[in-house]
Structure 1
Amino acid sequence: MEVAEVLPEFADAFAFEEFNRMQREALPALLESSENVVASAPTASGKTALAELAICKALADGGTALFIAPMRALTNEKEDDWDRFEALDYSVYVVTGERDLNPRRARRADILVMTPEKLDSATRKHDSRRYDFVTDIDVCVIDEVHLLDADRRGSVLEVTISRLRRLCAPRIVALSATMPNVDDVAAWLDAPEEATFEFGDEYRPVDLKSGVRTYTHGDNAFADKYRRLYRALDLAEPHLREDGQALVFVSSRQDTVQAAKKARDEIAERDVSMGVRGDYDFHTDLKEAIDNDTLRQSILDGVAFHHAGLSKEERDLVEEWFKQGHIELLFSTSTLAWGVNLPARCVVIRDTKYHDPLEGEVDMSPLDVLQMLGRAGRPGYDDVGYGWVVCDSAEADKYRRLLRDGKEIESRLAESLETHLNAEIAMGTITDLEDVMDWLETTFYYVRGQSKPDEYDFPNLRERVRDCLEGLVERGFVETGEDLSIEATPLGVLTSKYYLRLDTAARFAALCDRAESGPITAGDVLETVATAEEFDSVSARQDERDAISAVLVGEDTDDLDAGERKVLAILRSAASGSTPAELRSDAWAIRRNATRLVSALGAFLDRFVGPHAANLARRVEARIENGVAEDAVGLTAIDGVGPGRASKLAKEGLSTPGDVDDAGLEGLIDAGLSEGVAERVAEGASSLPALDIDWGQFPGTVATGENEVCDVTVRNVGEPARAGIRVTVNGVEMTSSNTYLRDSETVPVGVFGADAEELEFTVSVAFPEEPLVPITASRTVEVE
């Protein structure tokens, strides 16, 4: 069955000319009906084409398609792969983070690509103009729906699909690796029997022989890695000697490089004939194409590594050369198993555990293990593929059971029911207990509970939900009315909007309470974020502890555990632009999460305290992102000024946008900027608010017991912005206001003859949405 016969207008959208057996069997359900479809099939059997068929039908009907990719790395790959749709004049748009989102492009896209987390966040804000595009979806394709069973991420996928179905009732097409309970997923998604497919191993293009091999576990984790590496090479060697290829999965980017280096020496020691050193033309191409010296030397010996830290060009070349056979032994992280279709005759999983910056040491998920092993066997080249798990003997039976029986997909919703329930209440979709039960009936949790009532404590479900609601009420996220109605408090709404765990939101609320009774510092903001529940599994390795103590020297951190101290040290050093080498491996992930949390904390402070507190959080966020000094952080508000440029300008004495504006073009050129850059920076500085505080007829003296009201004028001679204006006398707040400062604002200030000998009046203006240092001006009045 040729693609051009079935879909002549979309023939160029497919990477092949003819559908295989599995695709042919699913084709009528996808193209000739509008029912929801669930298809479970072995890895490498061609499931992606089923997604593309569903998308083609939606496009032919004038609709919009949404593709949910299991991880962020794969969303960009889909954008590249689907250039074929772009060539047919259909637009593909990958929905990214809040700041990078282009709502206009998203609204006009024919195919949207999102991760479950991005879709969850977008659907929570569906009634805003920025995210209204999520209510206009005609077909939703869930790639790898068995991720329902993944820790933490699984419940996100589950509640988001349930929510999307309520919002716009799209057709759902769910694709999965082989799973024993596909009927439960079909029941959840209302896919009829004729549109539910369970394709067995007979549909694999190449048979798979899989097994478990053990190694002798020692006391030294570093030495254990090499024991497992030698075991992996023992398994790969027979295939390498027969000109086959091997793919070895390891736990980290750094490990791919180290394993490749060691494997080159070991392969030479074992006298296995590999490599392309004799191919002069390829050698020349390699030298021109690959800058990474370690990678280039490895490829010459037929060995390579692949991870997300390589440039896209390097990754593409490694994949292409592996397909061509120039690379025979490839070390990779697990991302390759989910994304690129890169099979090998032999696949070995060297590491079944990995270090997660936020979770510490964790087991590879059973889904990842099966996905990786599924890469064994090259269609058209091999009759059989070989897949091996290398593990400690204590865990061997667990992996043997997994390979023999597969993995039933369970719901993970119970683990975070309170968080998701709060989100639904905050959106207004749940207003009483009956609504909660109606919502639960739309979840996979409910379906799975009917299949396994004892394991899911199904008979006590209503009681469990009531306890959940009472907990939300007690903690201030939800309030109940006299008519037993339920609605979210401002705390509950912000928690949902900013995608926070409940304990973290409670910590943020506690800091807001402190800030209302007295000023808080940047240190308070950093410590509140460092102790957020999102970081509760971060651990400090022994070799990191001296570096952590050096960063935090002189600080009282006795109340923090080792993981919290590590997060705080990374944030403090990031803010000063000097992260110690020992902490850098985890710093990127921790900083990325922390900036999101500081931004959310800023919103809490803005709502519950005021603009000055929110501005403090905004400045802390900018420092973590850019690594600039506290007095120069305002420079990062200027478009085109990043960490390097901010430091350069600050060294030349230009530490605020006002200084930059005063310096003008010539001053910026004198400070070392090129003319073109100086023009952009000057323009960026002039597009920010700029203040002039006019004290008017403010007196210099006041008699004891006398008082008068004076007008102080705050003028904005720059761009309009939201601002907080605060007046203090001798450090005690007199008045504060929250305003949108377009031109000028008159602030009444009461001057009174008090007991003090002199009074210092200070007007402070802060911008909660910009990392600008607050503008302050003071006047001293003598009391006679």
Structure 2
Amino acid sequence: MHPLFTHVRSPIETPLPSRNRDCDVSSRTDSEPTVAVAEVLPEFADAFPFEEFNRMQSAALPALLNRDDNVVVSAPTASGKTALAELAICKTLAEDGTALFLAPLRALTNEKESEWERFEEMGYSVYVVTGERDLNPRRAERADILVMTPEKADSATRKHETSRYSFITDVDCCVIDEVHLLDSDRRGAVLEVTVSRLRRLCDPRVVALSATMPNIDDVADWLDAPDETTFAFGEKYRPVPLNADVKTYSHGENAFADKYRRLYRALDLAEPHIREEGQALVFVSSRQDTVQAAKKARDEIVERDIPMGARGDYDFHNDAADLSNDTLRQSVLDGVGFHHAGLAREDKNKVEQWFKQGKIQLLFSTSTLAWGVNLPARCVVIRDTKLHDPLEGEVDMSPLDVLQMLGRAGRPGYDDMGYAWVVCDRSDADKYRRLLRDGKEIESRLAAELDAHLNAEIALGTIDDVDDVMDWLSTTFYYARSQSAPNEYDAGSDLRNRVSDTLSALVDEGFVEQDGLNVEPTRLGQLASKFYLRLSTARRFADVAERCQDAADPDSAVSVDADDLLTAVAGATEFDSVSARSDEEDAVHAVLGDSVDDSLDAGQRKVLAILRSGMTGTTPTELKSDAWVIRQNALRLLAAMREFVDTLGPARYANLACRVEARVEHGISADAVGLTAIDGVGSGRAGKLAAAGLTSPADVVEAGEDGLVRAGLSDGVAEQVLANARELPVISIDWGDFPGTIAPGDNDMREVTVRNTGGSARAGLRVTVNGREMTAKPSYLGEATLPVAVFGADADELTFTVEVAFPALPLPTITETRSVLVR
């Protein structure tokens, strides 16, 4: 134990609660003492926004501070689990270690960065790891507290041997917030394999926190947490008792009208509490729905004459005037607000503050609010149990989300009871009643993606032979769950056979090579792992790279253009569940016309239409609601496509893929896309430059700073853009003493020199004669010399072409030709 800590005596009887014994013992909870922060953490008292730990926190505190074992805690929503994470972090910091906090959603990583400024004030560094492009490796390496989503941690652990991500192996304690996300269809397997991989890489202490879950012992077995540090805090530890139920509505034929039926039902449930000066939190399915529901609710509140609003509060009126969202500015004065991840940070902060102060009495939100911000209400209503997912179509809201949202009911210190309802169609009522009665056991989602994750481990080198495969599997939650529920999961020989079959399929499909008991990845397997591709998508992209190779042969009938690459991405398995609503079909046809690959279904054609129109910044209004999500996923796939072609095909087609990727990202024309190769030039600046007739980095350099200012850039920006443009390659081709004629039958060896007088770049160099490849090689330019054989052939004229293509820059391919007459 670190000397900064006072030894903590358990405030409950010894031994500590076993995982098999619920901590919810009524004869004990009312008399359990609490512990003062300053008493046990005098050096970290400023890290906590309160002076005394509550009953739940005090009960778990000895396990967190006095021991080094892994810890698993399940407790009701809003019972104070964040403080347990902070306890584990404080112990790690006191021992000069590095803590990693895995937040369930990207929006919540920023919340933690703001919330944990108090650690910064104490001299510790908090760093939120965001995207690949934004990563600051030095800050990450020096951070005391890292905050990441499971997806970012997965990426970091896969790339831990690179200098950019080596910091991940220095983690001493990993706190998993909301570990019950293991049960998430989309994200559970990522969390599972990431934590298992991290434990093999650096074996950190793991502290897993969860809402109430019936099978906490399975999670504890997975993480090797002993009974003494596994806690199942029951409903008695909820700060405010919860009354949860299901209410139905009359389902109609019009989905739009049904939203309002559910809204009126939600207002019926919330109204009595609002009239008693309580507050209501209503969860809806989308950002736009929060806005529309708030508008409609304001009208209905006037009709019902419900006393709400603070229009007479002069200070509040002035504060509301500072909101950047016009609709929100008008709404909050009537006591109605909305909250979603797309609001400006300051607007969100004000909404949260005003709701806590009671100035907003009715708040509409998406599920993000339930996972992160501690914003309870006396009454919680889930208006929408189904939502539109751009990649999946209409789906049921996750049971985990439902329970998390309902758990926000009840304000500690203000309410004696919290009230929560699920509003759903009559056909779904029994399903939600069972969920409220029995809870949700946490299941592993690894089985559905076993092939991709097994391939990733082989690609990473953590699995070298067949025996390693079972050793790896034994570290997963899937294995732990299979031991406790053998009838629902493969177990014993069945599990071994399943893994063996999966490995054989990876070998057959070219992702893995096997020699006896030894296994190793192929380049295809490594690329699939690097870009987190479904294996069917990786195979599809490898086929495209092969087509590009064939297309380079002048005798081949195969051709590949930008639309072929977009079609390959739109048809990827990752987009299989995208659906096209009836009102979108005309917009899709307007973009694509009739010339569409027959293999694409309606949803995939929608993806193709979004990508193709996005290349020119002309996405139809009907497609814009899903366009951002689809485009972000497509950019990852296009980056993968570029590297597949770069690795397995010719450089000029990798350059084509790079240019397509840049056009989709920035929405810019083909002739001006090279501008985006300049660091700091995105769609806005590229558009200004192109409008002024500057369509290439060479044009930018020639225009100079004055020309860039005339094009609309500010002085400082123009100076930086010009400097960045000069760092790009500037190519010249020296043909030397190249002949103009050659006699039939003669053979003359010459050399052509390719020089780069600008910034260094990787290039593919190629020499062809009459379309046939003579020489091809990769090079970091520099300067490169290419041997060229000039020979007297049957043709009357020989056309030699030198080609310089940049596979990782959206610059146009550079070509120069020389003709030699045969006579």
Q: Which residue of 1 aligns with 2:812?
A: 773
Output the CA distance in 2 between the equivalents of 1:120 and 1:280. Answer: 50
Deviation at 1:783, TM superposition (A): 2.8
Matched, 1:565 2:605: yes
Is the 2:548–2:650 Cα contact (8 Å) retained in structure 1? no
Q: Which residue of 1 aligns with 2:246?
A: 212
**3-state SS of paired residue (1:750):** strand
The verdict on how the C-alpha distance between 1:651 and 1:710 changes in structure 2, with shifts beyond 3 A counting, is farther
Q: Which residue of 2 aligns with 1:57?
A: 91
Q: Which residue of 2 aligns with 1:195?
A: 229
Matched, 1:534 2:540: no
Matched, 1:33 2:77: no
Deviation at 1:707, TM superposition (A): 2.8
Instruction: Give the one of 616, 620, 631 matched to 1:591.
Output: 631
Output the CA distance in 2 between the equivalents of 1:38 and 1:418. Answer: 29
Deviation at 1:554, TM superposition (A): 5.3
Is the 2:666–2:683 Cα contact (8 Å) retained in structure 1? yes
Q: Which residue of 2 aligns with 1:227?
A: 261
Q: Which residue of 2 aligns with 1:415?
A: 448
Matched, 1:307 2:308: no
**In the TM superposition, what are the counterparts of 1:347-496 in structure 2 within 5 Å?**
347-459=380-492, 460-481=494-515, 483-496=516-529
Matched, 1:517 2:550: yes
Q: Which residue of 1 aligns with 2:112?
A: 78
Q: 1:577-618: per-residue Cα shift (whole Å, max 9, x none)?
A: 111111111111111111111111111111111322222211
Deviation at 1:759, TM superposition (A): 2.4
Q: Letter of the aligned partner of 1:444 in structure 2?
A: F
Deviation at 1:751, TM superposition (A): 2.0
Q: Which residue of 1 aligns with 2:664?
A: 624
Is the 2:732–2:755 Cα contact (8 Å) retained in structure 1? yes
**3-state SS of paired residue (1:458):** coil
Q: Which residue of 1 aligns with 2:11?
A: none
Deviation at 1:621, TM superposition (A): 1.1
Is the 1:36–1:172 Cα contact (8 Å) retained in structure 2? yes
Instruction: Give the one of 693, 701, 726 matched to 1:686.
Output: 726
**3-state SS of paired residue (2:194):** helix
State the Cα RMSD in Å: 1.2
Output the CA distance in 2 between the equivalents of 1:753 and 1:579. Answer: 54
Q: Which residue of 2 aligns with 1:252?
A: 286
Q: Which residue of 2 aligns with 1:648?
A: 688
Q: Which residue of 2 aligns with 1:708?
A: 748
Q: Letter of the aligned partner of 2:578 in structure 1?
A: V
Instruction: Give the one of 633, 637, 640 matched to 1:600.
Output: 640
Deviation at 1:703, TM superposition (A): 2.7
Q: Which residue of 1 aligns with 2:154?
A: 120
Deviation at 1:230, TM superposition (A): 0.7
Deviation at 1:701, TM superposition (A): 2.4
**3-state SS of paired residue (1:576):** coil
Q: Which residue of 2 aligns with 1:344?
A: 377
Q: Which residue of 1 aligns with 2:771?
A: 731
TM-score by length of 1: 0.98
Matched, 1:722 2:762: yes
Matched, 1:502 2:541: no
Deviation at 1:780, TM superposition (A): 2.2
Q: Which residue of 2 aligns with 1:756?
A: 795
Is the 1:762–1:778 Cα contact (8 Å) retained in structure 2? yes
Q: 1:271-329: per-residue Cα shift (whole Å, max 9, x none)?
A: 11111122233212212x11322111111111111111110000000111111111110
Q: Letter of the aligned partner of 2:591 in structure 1?
A: V
**3-state SS of paired residue (2:68):** coil
Q: 1:675-721: per-residue Cα shift (whole Å, max 9, x none)?
A: 32221121111011111111222222233333322211111010111
Is the 2:584–2:622 Cα contact (8 Å) retained in structure 1? yes
Output the CA distance in 2 between the equivalents of 1:515 and 1:19. Answer: 64
Q: Which residue of 1 aligns with 2:124?
A: 90
Output the CA distance in 2 between the equivalents of 1:85 and 1:285. Answer: 29
**3-state SS of paired residue (1:736):** strand
The verdict on how the C-alpha distance between 1:655 and 1:418 changes in structure 2, with shifts beyond 3 A counting, is same
Structure 1 stretch displaced more, 483-492 or 662-671: 662-671
Q: 1:336-390: per-residue Cα shift (whole Å, max 9, x none)?
A: 0001000000000000011111111111111000000000000111000000000
**3-state SS of paired residue (2:527):** helix
**3-state SS of paired residue (2:752):** strand
Is the 1:36–1:189 Cα contact (8 Å) retained in structure 2? yes
Output the CA distance in 2 between the equivalents of 1:185 and 1:206. Answer: 27
Structure 1 stretch displaced more, 518-527 or 683-692: 518-527
Output the CA distance in 1 between the equivalents of 2:200 and 2:609. Answer: 44
Is the 1:232–1:248 Cα contact (8 Å) retained in structure 2? yes
Is the 1:90–1:110 Cα contact (8 Å) retained in structure 2? yes
Matched, 1:547 2:587: yes
Is the 1:246–1:346 Cα contact (8 Å) retained in structure 2? yes
Q: 1:381-412: per-residue Cα shift (whole Å, max 9, x none)?
A: 10000000000101100000000111111111
Task: Kindly report structure 1 stretches of 4+ aligned residues shifted beyond 6 Å.
Answer: none
The verdict on how the C-alpha distance between 1:581 and 1:285 changes in structure 2, with shifts beyond 3 A counting, is same
Deviation at 1:129, TM superposition (A): 1.6
Output the CA distance in 1 between the equivalents of 2:158 and 2:471. Answer: 18
Q: Letter of the aligned partner of 1:279 in structure 2?
A: D
Is the 1:41–1:200 Cα contact (8 Å) retained in structure 2? yes
Output the CA distance in 1 between the equivalents of 2:743 and 2:603. Answer: 58
Matched, 1:297 2:357: no
Instruction: Give the one of 256, 261, 282 matched to 2:295.
Output: 261
Output the CA distance in 2 between the equivalents of 1:670 and 1:21. Answer: 67
Task: Report sequence identity in percent.
Answer: 71
Is the 2:565–2:657 Cα contact (8 Å) retained in structure 1? yes
- The number of residues matched between the two structures is 781
Instruction: Give the one of 329, 333, 336 matched to 2:366.
Output: 333
Is the 1:610–1:738 Cα contact (8 Å) retained in structure 2? no
Structure 1 stretch displaced more, 494-503 or 671-680: 671-680
**In the TM superposition, what are the counterparts of 1:162-181 in structure 2 within 5 Å?**
162-181=196-215
Is the 2:802–2:816 Cα contact (8 Å) retained in structure 1? yes
The verdict on how the C-alpha distance between 1:206 and 1:720 changes in structure 2, with shifts beyond 3 A counting, is same
Deviation at 1:484, TM superposition (A): 2.1
Q: 1:89-137: per-residue Cα shift (whole Å, max 9, x none)?
A: 1101111121111111111110111111111111111122221111111
**3-state SS of paired residue (2:349):** helix
Is the 1:763–1:777 Cα contact (8 Å) retained in structure 2? yes
Q: Which residue of 2 aligns with 1:141?
A: 175
Output the CA distance in 1 between the equivalents of 2:89 and 2:712. Answer: 53
Q: Letter of the aligned partner of 1:645 in structure 2?
A: R
Is the 2:177–2:208 Cα contact (8 Å) retained in structure 1? yes
Q: Which residue of 1 aligns with 2:784?
A: 745
Deviation at 1:653, TM superposition (A): 2.5
Structure 2 unmatched ranges of 5 or more: 1-34, 553-559
Output the CA distance in 2 between the equivalents of 1:99 and 1:72. Answer: 16
Q: Letter of the aligned partner of 1:766 in structure 2?
A: A
